[in-house]
Amino acid sequence: MKNILKNKVVLVLLGLFALISCDDFLQEDLRDAITPGNFFNNDKEAELAVNGIYRIYHNNNLYAQRGLDDYYTHGADVVGPNRNVNGSIHNYLIAEGVADGNGVWSQLYEVVNGTTEFLANIDGNEKLTEANRDQAVGELLFLRALAFYHLTNLWGDVPYFREMLNPIEAGELGRYDKDLIRTDMKVDLERAVSLLPSTYSGSDLGRATKWAAYALKAKFHLFDKEWLLAKNACDEIINNSPHTLLPNYADVFNQLDPANSINNEHIFIIDFKSDEVTTTRTDDYNPRIRDEPSNRNDDAVDEFGAPVLKANGTQMKRWEYFQSVMLEQEEDMQGYGWSVPLPELADKNNWQDGDLRYDATVVTEYLGFELAFPYFRKNWNLDQVNSLRGNHHENYIVFRLADIYLMAAEAENELNGPGTAYSYVNEVRKRAFEPDQPWSGMSQTSFREAMYDERKFELSAEGHRKMDLVRWGILLDVVKSTEHRNWNNPGANIQPYHVLLPIPQAQIILNANLLTSDPTNNGYR
């Protein structure tokens, strides 16, 4: 995906299709314009349309900044803000029109609209070569299923369509049962698996493969407690894909070399390239120099206790000395400090002895300086050459192989108990401990409960935790028992209905039928 997203024709194309699908009654002469009827004439045009859908996922409301991260990471027991910000979401002060996710909703439905429109014009189109047509259809099916995955996770029952609607139909569409939607998405993903290639190379790295489709399908099955189907999908990836677990946990998240930022453990990523389609999400995890280090305004001394002086002979402050040491290795702390580990996760005593993932995940000291806050080392990048503030190349890891192993372990335990499930989870733990500390001797219940923590430590701040707590039915208990910083108290506010968001107020104003099947709006009224 390195080069294909630069072409601004992608955005023009999406805009024109949105106009055409909503305003068919216009009588203007469009003979010289791009229309569905005159555009899909060759493989390159089909590819351009698919690229436009990928481009939507790079939006700030989805993967580029805090869109999905707000609702998948905050308000659980892993991530919190380092100051009094993001309180509506983190503290469960959500209401219609207040942190109700309207931006996320709108962008996800832009994906649904675009994929549905493009599928109608690409699927079965004999002007395209079979191989390219199959790949385009497979990608579109996957990308639409990913949108409905997020929509049903966050809102439950949502508007649903598989063919383009006219403006009146779209404006009156009510909510559909999420189980119906997910059933259709699993079928679509089965087809996507049969159409998508196993691997890509060069600038196509980052596109959806058949293994990405299997991973998303496994997620749907796991969330729906279809244990055998979830395990089968995971086994396909584990046994047949080219993906492997990296020997070193920290290497999974190493983004220092832009040319080698995708590795064998990544199954699907949203790829961001500096100076092209960039992400500011990294800035949320990067510290602010205005916060660091601890006792930042004290006078600076070196390791021998001698004063550290500026060129003019005055003594540096600790923060100035700290920054100068970082700059010597072309690093700096220019982020927002928005997303940091909560106190319990940051405390190494709460991790199992010997868990190597702690130091790769959490950083409390850097270059000999104690930090005022803990940070997620796995998600920060202080590089001032290739990863500047507001212009990062980092990839958002949507699915990776370790998650697949843990899902397979969970599904196998639910099916048959822990006997065979150990082999899956111990494969992940093998690199996490030195010496190895495999699981054994558990009951089905103790294995299930141990998985609660295992997934937290392996996948922290990767967008899985909150939905795991929801599907296990323990979100409220966990939030109420988790230590938060003194400016946050979500445990005092969280209610059972907070497992879902309210349908956004802006959408209800446009379409009152969104409340027909549930006048309570997921319990918020």
pLDDT at 308 over 60: yes
Asked if residues 101 and 110 have their Cβ atoms less than 8 Å apart, the reply is no
Q: Higher pLDDT residue, 358 or 167?
A: 358
The torsion region of residue 396 among left (phi > 0), alpha (psi -120 to 50) and beta comes to: beta
Q: Residue 275's pLDDT band (boundaries 50, 70, 90)? A: confident
**Residue 37 confidence (pLDDT):** 64
DSSP, collapsed to helix, strand or coil, labels residue 366 as strand
Q: Which pLDDT score is estimated for 32?
A: 53
Tokens 């946050």 found at: 488
Does 26 have pLDDT greater than 50?
A: no
Give the other-Cβ count within 10 Å of 217's Cβ.
28
For residue 16, pLDDT over 90 is answered with no
CA atoms of 329 and 512, how far apart (whole Å):
57
The answer for 106, left when phi > 0, alpha when psi is -120 to 50, beta otherwise, is alpha
Q: Which residue has the higher pLDDT, 303 or 211?
A: 211
Nearest by Cα to 57 from 137, 144, 184, 158: 144
24 band by pLDDT with thresholds 50, 70 and 90: very low
Give the bridge partners for 341, in sequence order. Answer: 79
Beta-bridge partners for 433: 355
What are the start-end ranges of the E strands in 61-157?
A: 79-80
Task: Please report where in the chains the tokens 């496994």 appear, as a residue.
Answer: 218
Counting runs of H as helices and runs of E as strands, what totals does the chain give?
Answer: 21, 6
pLDDT at residue number 7 = 42
pLDDT of residue 280: 92
CB crowding 512-523: b at 16 or more within 10 Å, else e:
eebeeeeeebbe
pLDDT in tens, 142-152: 999 999 999 99
Confidence category of residue 71, pLDDT binned at 50, 70, 90: very high
Across the chain, mean pLDDT equals 93
| pLDDT recorded at residue 383 | 97
Phi, psi of 269 (to 5 degrees): -130, 155
| pLDDT tens per residue, range 218-262 | 999 999 999 999 999 999 999 999 999 999 999 999 999 998 999
Give the pair of three-digit tokens for residue 343: 């106190």
Please check the confidence at residue 480 and state whether its pLDDT lies above 90: yes
Enclosing H/E stretch for 369: strand 369-376
Yes or no: say if 287 and 364 are a contact pair by the CB < 8 Å rule: no
Average pLDDT over residues 51-68: 96
pLDDT at residue 39 in the model: 87
CB neighbourhood size of 340 (10 A): 25
Percent of the chain topping pLDDT 90: 90
Show the CA angle centred on residue 493, arms to residues 491 and 497, nearest 5°: 105
Residue 38: the pLDDT is: 72
Are the beta carbons of 6 and 96 closer than 8 angstroms? no
- Distance of alpha carbon 279 from alpha carbon 149, whole angstroms: 22
Half-sphere exposure of 227 (CA within 13 A, CB side): 10
456-465 confidence digits (pLDDT tens): 999 999 999 9
Q: Residue 34 has what pLDDT?
A: 54
Q: Is 70 exceeded by the pLDDT of residue 8?
A: no
CA pair distance 452, 50, nearest whole angstrom: 37
Q: CB–CB of 359/245 below 8 Å?
A: no
Q: Give the per-residue pLDDT at 1.
A: 53
- Which run of H or E residues covers position 363? strand 362-366
Q: Decide if pLDDT at 395 tops 80.
A: yes
pLDDT, position 35: 60
- Does the pLDDT value for residue 424 go beyond 70? yes
Taking every pair of C-alpha atoms in the chain, what is the biggest distance, in angstroms? 80
pTM, whole model, 2 decimals? 0.94
- What domains appear along the chain, each with residue ranges and CATH number? 1-196+467-525 (1.25.40.390), 289-389 (no CATH)
State the pLDDT at residue 20.
38
- Looking at the chain, the whole-number percentage of residues with pLDDT higher than 70 is 93
d(CA 57, CA 237): 24
Report, as an integer, the average pLDDT of 504-508: 98
Mean of pLDDT values over 426-447 = 97
Helix (H) or strand (E) holding 49, with range, is: helix 43-57
What confidence tier does 33 reach under pLDDT thresholds 50, 70, 90? low
Distance CA 513, CA 173 (A): 7
β pairing state of 79-80 and 340-341: antiparallel
